[in-house]
Amino acid sequence: MAAMVIVNNPGDWNTVYWPLLHAEWNGWTPTDLVFPFFLFAVGVSITLSAATAGHISGIVRRGLTILGVGLFLAGFPFFNLTTWRIPGVLQRIAVCYLCAALLVRTLARPDRPRIAIGRLSWVVTGLVVGYAVLMQLVPATGGHAGDLTPAGNLGAWLDRALMGGHLWRPDWDPEGLLSTMPAVATTLMGVIAGYSRVNVPPATWRRRLMAGGLVCTVIGLAWSPWFPINKSLWTSSYVLFTGGLAAILLAACSQWADEDPGEWKARTSEPLVALGRNAMLLFVLSGLVGRIIGVVHVDDAAQVSLKSWIYATAYAPFASPKNASLLFALTNLALLYVLLAALHTRRWYWKV
């Protein structure tokens, strides 16, 4: 969540360090790991959530709530029905959560984790292989099979046919319908990681998670010459590559948290807990604040936004362009953290 705030709120999009930008198309940067890592964490949380074990109506309500908040943010502040973006980050999270949670309810039994892991692994395999077949062998109308360009790929054609005029770009969207299919696979990889810890000693679980993560990462890299790692298309190689890295990071974080616990470790991790426990509120506030300061003008004649004025006045004169842009993003995170830390001390959380 901290990385998401920093990535989404630079002072100037034209002066940003490359690790804080998405890859232009094929390839990856550290920023391209943020979203799949979050979906992987959603999958792990499904195995720990009492809501998943409850009535299906609770799962549906949670998914629809996340979807509704995402649509609200997409329309804010003007809510123009002719250009209102339908896909989006929260919308994808909602669909992935719904699909993964319902699949868990259908295929998995918490008391038999091996069976759950086996069944869900087959679903992940089917999703990544099926998506690769569709994207590389099925041509879009008027196009040719294997076209993986932004506007020419099968997913972009489907999005234009069903949601034309309501996409991030006129002819494509990085959170489109078809690419949500492999994003569900990313979420299910997190579910598998969560189930693999049941009735297993923590040290054994971490070793298996590390080994499995390494295998997935290598397979993703080996697949990439034929189906490139691409966040916008959420390619199958990207699913395996990022899912593998997420598993390795989860094992490392578990090792750090469990070894030699002490008061200092609790204190150093508490800021991350404050951000993570109110993840939805953090995402929404970050988006709302960014939109508001971007549309409010301090000089209507010159069309100077409040964000541009703050950046030009308080940041740009005192640091190099890239450092000033980064400091703006860090300040945004710090201010949001102060609010969320205050809520955390009172145990006030926005739960959906």
Q: What is the pLDDT of residues 25-84, one digit of tens each?
A: 999 999 999 999 999 999 999 998 766 666 888 899 999 999 999 999 999 999 999 999
Residue pair 239/182 in contact (Cβ under 8 Å)? The answer is yes
Work out the angle between the directed axes of helices 263-277 and 321-345 (0-180°, nearest 10).
Answer: 100
What is the pLDDT, as a whole number, of residue 265?
Answer: 67
Q: Which distant-in-sequence residues (6+ apart) come within 8 Å of 121 by Cβ?
A: 192
pLDDT(269) > 90: no
User: How big, in percent rounded to 5, are the helix, strand and coil portions of the chain?
Assistant: 65, 0, 30
C-alpha pair distances (Å), 246 with each of 24, 212, 214, 253, 272? 22, 11, 10, 10, 17
- How confident is the model at residue 266, as a pLDDT? 66
In this structure, is residue 57 part of a structural domain?
Answer: yes
In a domain, 43, yes or no: yes
Show the domain range for 179. 2-345
The pLDDT of residue 51: 66
**pLDDT surpassing 90 at residue 204:** yes
Residue 335 has pLDDT above 70, yes or no: yes
Q: What are phi and psi of 136, to 5 degrees?
A: -105, -15
pLDDT, residue 262, reads: 64
In a domain, 204, yes or no: yes
The Cα–Cα gap between 198 and 112 comes to 9
Contact indicator for 42, 15 with CB cutoff of 8 Å: no
CA–CA gap between residue 258 and residue 222 (Å, rounded): 33
Total domains present in the chain: 1
- 132 pLDDT more than 70: yes
- 306-314 and 321-345 helices, crossing angle to 10°: 110
Flag whether 312 is in a domain: yes
User: What's the mean per-residue pLDDT of the chain?
Assistant: 93
- pLDDT, tens digit, 9 for 90 and up, residues 231-241: 999 999 999 99
pLDDT of 22 over the 80 cut: yes
Residue 352 lies in a domain: no
Query: Do the domain assignments include residue 84?
Result: yes
350 falls within a domain: no
pLDDT of residue 280: 92
The model's pTM: 0.94
Cα→Cα distances 268→255, 276, 298, 309, Å: 15, 14, 39, 34
The DSSP code sequence of 8-25 is H--S-TTS--GGGS--SS
When computed from its CA atoms, the radius of gyration of the chain, rounded to whole angstroms, is: 21
Domain assignment present for 253:
yes
Closest CA to 13 of 322, 335, 317, 289: 322
Q: What is the pLDDT of residue 227?
A: 97
- Secondary structure element (H or E) that encloses residue 298, with its range: strand 297-299
Residues 6 or more apart whose Cβ sits within 8 Å of residue 302: none
